[in-house]
Structure formats: C-alpha cells, structure tokens
Chain A
C-alpha cells in the first residue's frame, strides 16, 4: 500500500460495465411518492382488525382467563387464547432462517399457556370490525395471575436461588443436555485453543476487565404487521412485512401443526428489520382469528408492543482477559460471556463467543459463552447478533494493552491481525480476508493524520469481525420481446437489493441495469430463499441472479446458433451482442434476438438456485473523534470514519448506506440506547421519545472507505456488507472517551450518567 490516500481501496483487477456504478434503484419512484405498499398498507375485502391482550407482569402463572365480556362487545367477531391453538409438543428442533428453533418454545412464545414469562407476553387475541373496538375488547378480558418473582439479567439468573423460568430446562451445549436441576442456563459453549495459562505466563502485561451492556432494540421505524386469511379450502395466506417470507411460512405452519405448503406468505415492502423481523409473532394468531370468523384479519403492533414483545438484542456481562509481550505480541486471551436469551432458549452468545477474538492471531485462548433465560422478550438477531457485545469488550482491552505497552492502537492491531491461514479460536481457518487492508486504510486515512487539539477531546479506533451468511436462494429471469428482462426473486428488499441483484444479472447479460425489471415474490412463486439477513442477499440471491442470467445467456446462444444453423459452441455473447466466433457476418444484439424468440422456438426463461459455501467474512474499522463535556458527561461526536471490506461493492452508494446505518446504530448502542427496567420487569422507556435513538442533530457526516479484497467464493467477489459496521462503534467511542478524559468505560450505554459516575470513581 502506498501512503497516498484513495477514497476507496479497490484491489480488484477486474473491470465491469454495470457493477460498481450507482444507478437509481428500481423501487425508488414508488418509495419517494408514498406508493410503495408496506404491510400496514395492505387492504382486502371483508377485513377485520386484530388486537392483542398482553401480560402486564414479567413473571406469573395464569390461573384463569375469562373472555366472555369481550366476546359480547358489539363489533367483536372472535377471541382466541392458547386453548384455541394446537397443544405444545415435546422438543422439536427445526431450521428457521439462519438458526434453529424449538417448535415447543415457538408455540409458547407466540401465545402464553400456563405461565407468562415477560411483560408483553401475548395472552389473548381479538378480532373486531375496527381496531378501536378490538382494543376496547381486550380490556374486557379478565385474567387472574399468580405473581412470581422475575429475574432480569444474566448474572442474576445464574445465581443459585434465582427464580426459574422453565422448570424442565436443562443446560444444552457440549452435544447434549446436562444437569438434573432446573436452571436458567440454556446453553453453554466453549472454545479452547492452545494453552491459555502458558500464554498468560509468557505475557509481560495482562489486563482483565469486566463489562456490562444493556438490552437494546433493533428500532426499525415500521412496526410489525400481519394480515392472515384462513381460506375455506384450508390454506392460509399471510401478507406481512418480513425479512423472511419462508421463515414466516414455516414457523406459522409448525405452530399450527400444518404442512408448510398449507401456508402461503406474500411479502409486502418492509420498513426496516435489522434481524428483528423473522419471527411469526402475530401471523398464527391472525390466522386463528381468521379461521374463527371466516374473514381476513389484520394487526399492526404499537411501538410499545415492539419494545415489550419483539426483539430485543441481549444485554450482557462479559469478562475479558488478554496478555501481550512488551514487543507487542498478544500471547493469550480469555473471555467469559453471559448473555440474556430472553424468555425462551435460543440466544445469541455462540456467535459472540466465536467473534470475540476473531480479528487477532492468538495462539492461546479460552472462551466460555452462556445463554441465560431472563424475564424479557425472547431475543432476536440484531445486525451481527452477539458480536457487538463481545467485541466491545475485547476491543477495549486490546486498546488498553496497546496504550500501556506504548504502541499506536492501529499499529498494535496490525501486528496481531488475523489473515489468510489464521486459525480462529473457534476452529475455522480464515480464507482470504481483508483485515490488514482495512487497518492500512485506517492508518493512511486523513482522519488518522489530522491533529485533534483541545481539552476533553479524544480519538479512538476499533475493528470488528462478522461471518456473513450464504444459504439457499432462488431467482428466475424471463426475456421480454423488447430486449428487457424480468427478474423474479424471493429476498425482501430492505435496502436496495432489487438493484444490486439486477446489476449482477445485467453484468452477465451485457444489458443496461434499467433493462432489468426486478420483482420480489412470495413463497408460492419462487424456490426456497432464506430471509434477508446475515448480509446474504447481494451475496447469495445475487449469485442466484447471476446463475439465472448465465442460463438465459446459454439459451440465447443456442437460439442464435439454431437461427444461423451453426454449432452453438461457435457462438458467444459479449456485452449484449451475440456473434459467431468463426463468421464475422453472423452478429445480432441481445435485443434483436429477444424480439424473434416467439417464432424461433418460443420464450426463454433462466433459473438460478444456489446454496453457496464460499461465504466471505467481513471486517470493519472506525476512527472516531469525540468531545466530552466534563460537567454533564455528554459525548459529542466530532468526526466519524468507517472503513469496511465489502469484497466487491456492487452498488457503492448502498454499500456506503449499510456502513453509515450500521455505524449509527452502533453509536446509539454505545452512547444512549437501553431498556430501562423496573425491578418488577417493566420497561419504563417504551416510546421513541424515551428510548432515544440517534437523530440527525446528534451526528456528523459518516465518512466511508470501501475496501475491496475480493471474496474468491463469489463470482463477482462479494462478501456481504449489512452487518459488520455495527460492531466497532461502541469500542471506538469508549477508546476515544478514554483519550479525552482518561477513563476506561466498562458499560453500555456510555450516557452522561455512566460517564459522570466513571469520572467520580476515578
């Protein structure tokens, strides 16, 4: 690398016609005019409106439910409780989206049976002729509870005499269930590499720190919504805003004891998800209300229901110990992570445990990860789930090692950086990755080389690693007679992916991206496509679009050969022109041939189905300047730079958008966001006024540098860009705060209260 600064670091040698350009997105006109139809905008004839009754208690036994008064209210059409749903089964693990789910817990989470396990746990559902009447009816339902003591954090839930959420829960992990006593510890993972005690003995400096992070929410602006119709032919049709139409189909079918094909999901436009919009939640309840009434039934969650009954992502306790030599080599690392799983098993600690030391080449390491049930909503994925908590802790300790050993923080990270061939603590060996390139770009960035003067100001850096995902995707392409094509795919477009997929198809076909018309369709209309998560759409569904375009290309070549009466091996297609390799007079544009398909053998459609294995992991790094007000503890961000390895940026504007959006979510997590809970398990800040997410006024521009170290596992080198940018901000901010005022922060959020308390106890 040279020391001259390039806005983006492009290491790919390949030249593309469409990829790397910045076209206007295909769904843009609908989205800036208000025409795009999101789930809450869905209307159909005979529609009824649903409302949920939810538990006001965090932990209680349900003694009785009396729905008779609600049923008698004028305008009410049906009421459902758990007795209307198929009984809970024994443990049954199914694949659902990126992870696995236990059907038994899915059933109980969607509608409480004997016990409520968090405030907001659904207890009954009502269908009425309008949402106001449905809401009135929920207030007429009488529920008798026997209150139990709640437990709200992982360390408390692990105590010997802690209240137990599930009497029959035993600890999973290590390949089975262990223990004969009731516990809240639902999973324990452990990763060991080398000899950690030997490694600490070799170190000249060992630092051990404890960290606590608050529960936070994905905070998408569009609340969950579900419309369901249980048709007289026995099939259920669901319209909703979801990251995963197939996950909604499969989850709903399991909860209702149906076969997956008895449920059809049509994805509407989606107003943000960040990992939080995969669960069926209200879909099976609306379906059951529809079965009882014969009408389609629609529900839209309130914001408070979002906070109390969806998401969140885990609060955590993390202890990290790391040692290094005075020459700057990290010799050993140890981590203990205890994460909130929420009310049901299936938490996020495992990816956290796998990521905690992933940026570094460390010979000796030991990681324990514990997922713990607590009386909060079942946690859901949130952008690199589990990694932010873990890497906040490790990146703070790495920074302190560098500081105390006298190394520049970027240089220290470079000296220990993981690269191709490094074995991660959790086992896998890294293929080609771009951490060194990210760190070099950070080092060479003008931000790193601009002096920061004045009191109470500081600069911090941090990096983060996330795996990204592959998994199944499907796409088809049909050729229109005017030379345009229709691209049909199954990935809900949450941030411009219609266009990033169309660009890959256009590149293969040699046509303008404006000539590709993409449509996102539902579960009856396309092959299985895992949901929009894991940074996977541009990678995996993009690959499916690439395959479908290759299929079209081959068929077009054959058709031209048929028309020209030559062997198809002698025909090629390049930049949208078909030509004979042997006879220069045989030449025809894609567009011209498209107009002749009907009379020369019929229409052409291509298909692509993939389950790619060559997933490319991603690294991001931040440089951030802050100013801390010593009197109030408020942190202002003066400058923020995000550097990220995209592999290949298909549409750079939307890559930057992912980097900026993830960075700002990380900033919110770092500085301000938290579930403020009372001792009895009530969230006191369940509105968007009090759960204070970053607003425009809080922030500077978020500068971006896209690094491109092509992923050898994708036709265009794509790694996926959606998640990793959320990881480094909390640690980068903590490290900047330390530079500004000389305190090492050990909890999130680092709000004014936390900063002042840290200053006073210095």
Chain B
C-alpha cells in the first residue's frame, strides 16, 4: 500500500511539475484544435454571395475586404414553346470555385436567350448572332456550368433578383473582385 501511495504521489508531483494540470491540458488541446481548424480554413481570399439580399462579400484573414451590391437569379421559369423544355433561372447554392478569369468576355448566347426574346433559334452552335461582346462587361469569373460573375448593362437593377442565374456587378466592383480573386479561389453562395 505504501508503495502504491508513493507511486501515485510521485506521479502527481511529476504531473504538476511539468505544468501539465488538467486545466493546462485542456488549454493545450484547445490550441491544437484551433490550429487544426485554421489549417482547414481558406488562407486565400474567398467570395460569399447572399442571394436573398443580393450582397457579395470578399473575405480574407477572417475579415471582409470588399463588399458590393450584386444581382442574382430571379427564380423565374421559362418554357420552350415547341420542345417543352424548361429553364429555371436560379443562382445555385453551395461551394463553387473560380475556374477561369476572362477579360473582355464574349457571351455565347444559349437557346433560352432567343426563346425569351421570341427570336428564331440559331440552328448551328457557332452562328455569329449567338455571340454578344457587350453584355458581360470588362471581366468575367467563370464558376462552371455556365454560371459566372460578370458585369451588367443595367447597373440600376443591381440589388434585385433579376438575372438568369449569373451574378452581376457594376464596373468598379467587378474590377475589384477580378483583382482580389484568383483562379481556384472559393465562392460560397447561399
């Protein structure tokens, strides 16, 4: 019994001598967990888009470095009169990454753009009248699946849900976003 008592006493003293009290141990664990979480978090700038209030924010190192009013998907549904196709113009929620950065982008109009305006639909995918060099503004950040962050011809409509799914910004905010965000950076949309 004496031996056990002395052993436990020795262990306890060693424990305290090393500054390894339960409290200190928990603090060490917390520091390690915080470090692990920091390693998981994004070190580069990332974009956060609130589609409900049409706000775009650029975050870096835990703070907002730029924010802007944007325009996002209207949620409207468009029906193809002949083929019974259906398009819904929503901005998709979730994590995206910037796949490509483009200057002076040219918009290759999809079929819905012609259906919406009651125009005849081009038969060939490379027809010249599909190409529109003015609508997207000076820059575009491609997110994939045809969704982009780009400029607008109608800056007075920013702050509303009026787009076909893309995110529109005015010229100054678009230039700043293009400057701050690189290819591969994350874009969180909710």
The finding on whether chains A and B are genuine partners in a shared complex, rather than unrelated, reads: no
B interface residues with partner A (beta carbon < 8 Å): none
A interface residues with partner B (beta carbon < 8 Å): none
